[in-house]
Chains A and B, each alone.
Chain A
Amino acid sequence: MEDEPKIALTPAEAKRQRLRSIAIALALGFLVILFYAATIIRLGGNVSNRVL
């Protein structure tokens, strides 16, 4: 069976792809921290006021 046609990335393209992946990872990490911090601020003292 013949392999699917593949695209071989040049070193420049591979570098661009790696940089893009790093940028996406950083953006996602930033959002995780942002939402975590915002959740803590939103909850505030209510965390300790809940019924146990």
Chain B
Amino acid sequence: MSTTTTIDGDLETAGISFHSTVSDFLALMKPRVMTLVVLTALTGLVAAPGTIHPFIGLIAIIAISVGAGASGALNMWYDADIDAQMARTAARPIPRGSVSPEEALQFGAVLSVMSVMTLGVIVNWVAGALLAMTIGYYLFVYTMWLKRLTPHNIVIGGAAGAFPPMIGWAAVAGNVTIESIVMFLIIFMWTPPHFWALALLRSKDYERVGVPMLPVVAGARATRVQIMIYSVILAPLAVVPSFIGLGGIVYGITATVLGIMFLYLAWNVWRFTEGPEADKACRKLFGFSILYLYLLFAVLLGEQLVSKLLA
């Protein structure tokens, strides 16, 4: 005699119905973050000294972006409990019930291994090792350890998002040099003001789920000061590529103008502390910060492409 059971009944009893589609799995990979990863990794790859076959270069970019997407999926698997309680993340595939946590874990783990192996075997193992370290850092150091432990979570965790240009550079040059470290540092210093502007707007959400973001732990005033400090460091740092041969005059002018605008918006966040003006200032800085990083790397990439094509 055979005993027959159905999973469906249990899930329906729990009020959950898993009907995942391709788009749900794509959403697990945080596609908007992936576009930034593609841009920054491509910039590192094009800027690096040496040559790479276009097809191998394409594989490198795909592997890096898939690796980033995999770490996004693993992050959503681990954070599903708090994602469900925050307005910004409640519609993600796992809290929405369209992908089960187990599926997200398997998806993220398989993509992580495949992306690292592909990059290592086909391109080189320096890049492969950097990608493995990035995924591990984002999952174990940021998501599992620091995010729920310290208000400086985003500072240290932000390093994971800063690695792609370094990996792109290593894919061609096979090493890590001052140029790739500068690109890393620009994203590293950009991350805190970018996320804290958002955290100021969403501090109640973070407080409710117990994530010790800076505005929750240190208060809005201290967060505004920190945003200003990081912005003051970021603006001149972003011009450095023009002084080390990585960027040219167009990049230098762009970085300077954008840096002044970033500082102005950060200053607005610092001076408007209450009411709708304060929220508006945070929203403006958050929105502009995304444009800022895209433009910096797009101009750097454009300059590098032009100089390589003319050479």
Please list the residues of chain A having a beta carbon within 8 angstroms of any beta carbon in chain B. Answer: 2-3, 5-10, 12-13, 16, 23, 31, 34-35, 37-38, 41-42
Contact = CB atoms under 8 A, between A and B. Distances in A.
Given A6-B5, A38-B55, 8 more contacts: A2-B1, A5-B3, A6-B2, A6-B3, A8-B5, A10-B7, A13-B7, A16-B20
A16 B118 CA distance: 27
B7 A31 contact: no
Interface residues of B, number: 20
Given A16-B20, A34-B118, A41 B53 contact: yes
Contact of B7 (A7, A34, A35): A7
Contacts, number: 50
Nearest to A27: B114
B8 A34 contact: no
A41 B22 CA distance: 31
Interface string B1-44: 11111111000000000111010000000000000000000000
Given A31-B118, A35-B121, A10 B6 contact: yes
A41 B54 CA distance: 10
Interface of B: 1-8, 18-20, 22, 53, 55-56, 59, 114, 118, 121-122
A8 B18 CA distance: 17
Contacts of A2: 1
A13 B114 CA distance: 26
Contacts of B55: 37-38, 41
